[in-house]
Structure 1
């Protein structure tokens, strides 16, 4: 679990730095991400065609796509040797049936179990360039934690690097579709996204039956002392499930204000399961319930605390709708019956 905590904190630091650089830089990033998402639709229409049997879609090469940095990348053929520096994107690649084309993954990649057999290429924010070069990839995928200077460094080494930066659920779905187009696995990508959309619809349709006065206040602590506000997919998951995130008055990832949490008095508390606080040595659930004054919080008094596996909740990949379903069941067990 120490690796999980390190990964969560790594992601947190990267996102917090990004959030602190609001303004023109952030606007440019959001614009680039939106362009990358819209590029999916364009590619689906103009760069695909039926195969000889007229059933499955195939990618037409050369293919030009735009990633979250706004850079256009051209592929002459489907990548044969792929390195993923992000657990989320690794899960996408495996879900698309690309196991035999994955030649490197990050040190934190542990799902599916086959990812454990792949060569390791270092951390998610600063991968090992020697290990990546040794893998001789024709595609490197960088995730949400990879900083811009690292992206440029790898591109300067002649590597074809496709960067993702999902902020919303739609970004995650679009990433899956886009990677499917790049790797000529569109049929599987579309099937996966269709199933994920069914999961989303099942939750949102049930949540739509809630009256405003029935909606519960939710506090989420994904790493000891840290929560998330609006503008990130964890906040969106709470909203889609019909909850009200008490941190939605803040942007991005934030250190918690213990007094504010008491004042907001959440009805439900969600936290990352099995995480242990390095400072106190306490499991996160115990840390939360033992804070001074928090015994007054309705969620703690009523025992409405639920731990969710960190990898599912924090990775913007194929299992993110599993996290949505689990959140919905935790917030409204009477509405979302297992």
Structure 2
């Protein structure tokens, strides 16, 4: 759910959402999307963050063996901190480097580009379906993956004896909990706690900036995270808007949904958020031009007042260490007079 890739990858990811909904996490390749303009709902990824089952710490050091469960419910017993690590998810790659584990990362996805050192690591393929041979050849003690990989792929890789640990953060608190859990798994608890403390402080700064807004002062916000797609309740992007003091006009929907152009016109948002650097494949237009030129959208207040706010596609799409930076940017976009 991510502004983390090229438009082509975005469309594959969005198709995956619908495929999983019909078959009954945003991830995997799948069926075609519903007809435009119908506002059809796509099922959101299955909620569930990795859960700690047991650990004992001493002076911020992990005591092994450590037993934990990941978001799929699989139990892991770590006799020691994993030394060779692969990440198929940009969010988890960013976390590993933030915890000082960059030297132990022996493989990353094709889209892991932050920090710069991550981009130089050996590649293991897509975030949705990695290259099986490359993943096996990496001989990792642990492979971290996130919301973009569906369970069919997870189970297939585990069948190949890949030790795959999956996280599925749905909220900022989930993101922080995952960072703390990774701190325990990799014996980097002190680093994880410092990182989470800084994220909490950044979140609190935004909350303090918008805390005095009266209900009638809160601005209506529409977010189009990929051409033709928006997001409702139950996902972290919706939470970012709420924490930033905005009202998500798609908040009555659940999960990731195909937008209804007519409904957006009727909702008349005062702010429109979109990812920078994405080109619509059908029209070959950047997102802001696509939005401005839609029929009838010139009547929307955000378009009339030129309140289209472009946000970095990577920080907005990655539920990792920079997610509170994304929150700050969202808040600045909605209330530039309050959030500096």
Fold-level similarity (TM above 0.5):
yes
What residue in structure 1 maps to residue 56 of structure 2?
47
Shifted more, 89-98 versus 5-14: the winner is 5-14
Matched, 1:160 2:163: yes
What residue in structure 2 maps to residue 54 of structure 1?
none
The answer to whether the 8 Å contact 2:107/2:124 transfers is: yes
1:273-288 correspondence to structure 2 within 5 Å: 273-288=276-291
Shifted more, 237-246 versus 6-15: the winner is 6-15
More helix by share: 1
> Shift in Å at residue 5 of structure 1?
2.3
The answer to whether the 8 Å contact 1:226/1:254 transfers is: yes
- Structure with larger RCO (C-alpha < 8 A, sep 6+): 2
| Cα shift readout 1:257-305 (whole Å, capped 9, x = no counterpart) | 0000000000000000121111101111000000000000000111111
Query: Which 4+ residue blocks in structure 1 deviate beyond 2 angstroms?
Result: 1-22, 26-30
Question: What is the distance in 2 between the residues matched to 1:62 and 1:89?
Answer: 23
Question: What is the distance in 2 between the residues matched to 1:246 and 1:254?
Answer: 12
> Shift in Å at residue 255 of structure 1?
1.1
SS at match of 1:269: strand
Q: Tell me which of 120, 126, 129 is aligned to 2:129.
A: 126
1:253-332 correspondence to structure 2 within 5 Å: 253-332=256-335
Question: What is the distance in 2 between the residues matched to 1:145 and 1:219?
Answer: 23
How much is the aligned-residue C-alpha RMSD, in angstroms? Answer: 1.9
SS at match of 1:62: strand
What residue in structure 2 maps to residue 187 of structure 1?
190
SS at match of 2:257: strand
The answer to whether the 8 Å contact 1:230/1:249 transfers is: yes
Q: What is the TM-score of this pair, normalised by structure 1?
A: 0.90
Q: Tell me which of 48, 57, 60 is aligned to 2:63.
A: 60
What residue in structure 2 maps to residue 110 of structure 1?
113
Question: What is the distance in 2 between the residues matched to 1:187 and 1:232?
Answer: 28
| Cα shift readout 1:146-168 (whole Å, capped 9, x = no counterpart) | 11111111111222111011111
Matched, 1:8 2:10: yes
**Structure 1 residues 261 and 312, CA gap change in structure 2 (3 angstroms):** same
**Structure 1 residues 18 and 248, CA gap change in structure 2 (3 angstroms):** farther
5+ residue gaps, structure 2, are 25-42
Q: Tell me which of 87, 91, 97 is aligned to 2:90.
A: 87
1:132-171 correspondence to structure 2 within 5 Å: 132-171=135-174
